A and B are shown apart, each in its own frame.
Chain A
Amino acid sequence: SQQGEEDPQALSIQEGENATMNCSYKTSINNLQWYRQNSGRGLVHLILIRSNEREKHSGRLRVTLDTSKKSSSLLITASRAADTASYFCATDEGETSGSRLTFGEGTQLTVNP
């Protein structure tokens, strides 16, 4: 089963609204990352949050991490049509991960103009 699982699977909002996506994972981690994928393209890294951090910001992105609940959320504020994409969380598995990340199945975000 997936280490990281995103929720919801799909999200449709209007331009200007905020979008929140959640990620849950199973084992202890060193860091958690969020990626974005536009249709037909490769994934692009958005933000990395370490296990000893609780919140991180990058432009309109805000990521939180709750290691006690093994969960993270990605908030996109004031969304734009160009934010339409799939968003994935990725985690390592702490000491047992080797050099691997495990990706969730993603949240498909649609921002309607």
Chain B
Amino acid sequence: DAGITQSPRHKVTETGTPVTLRCHQTENHRYMYWYRQDPGHGLRLIHYSYGVKDTDKGEVSDGYSVSRSKTEDFLLTLESATSSQTSVYFCAISEISVGIQYFGAGTRLSVL
């Protein structure tokens, strides 16, 4: 998976608890992305980063925050998880803007 590690791979949590997902890359790519994938909705962009400390919202950013303090790490935080955030979350990286994206293996999150 192109030097991208997502952790954890699976997580079950309860409604109202905070959750942080981590994406770590070893490719030194500038752009990093968080997506969620749900049946009937395809892949939807949550947030993305275009450099250290530079982030922007995607299509479905409500309820999510991100941070990027180092080139290699991009964190996605659900401040107070809800059942609607049950999904598979993918991290992706890209060397250039709107270039080829390389995806991690995904994190399956269940919010009960």
User: Could you tell me which A residues sit within 8 Å of B by CB distance?
Assistant: 2, 30-31, 33, 35, 40-45, 48, 88, 90, 92, 97-106
Contact = CB atoms under 8 A, between A and B. Distances in A.
A21 B2 CA distance: 26
Interface residues of B, number: 27
B90 to A, nearest CB: 6
A72 to B, nearest CB: 15
Contacts of B43: 43, 88, 103
Interface of B: 1, 31, 33, 35, 40-45, 48, 50, 56, 58-59, 90, 92, 94, 97-98, 100-106
Contacts, number: 60
Say whether chain B's binding surface is mostly helix, strand, loop, or mixed: strand
A85 B1 CA distance: 17
A99 B50 contact: yes
Nearest to A41: B105
B42 A33 contact: no
B101 A45 contact: yes
A88 B42 contact: yes
Given A43-B43, A101-B98, A103-B43, 10 more contacts: A2-B42, A30-B98, A40-B106, A42-B103, A88-B42, A98-B50, A99-B48, A100-B45, A102-B45, A105-B40
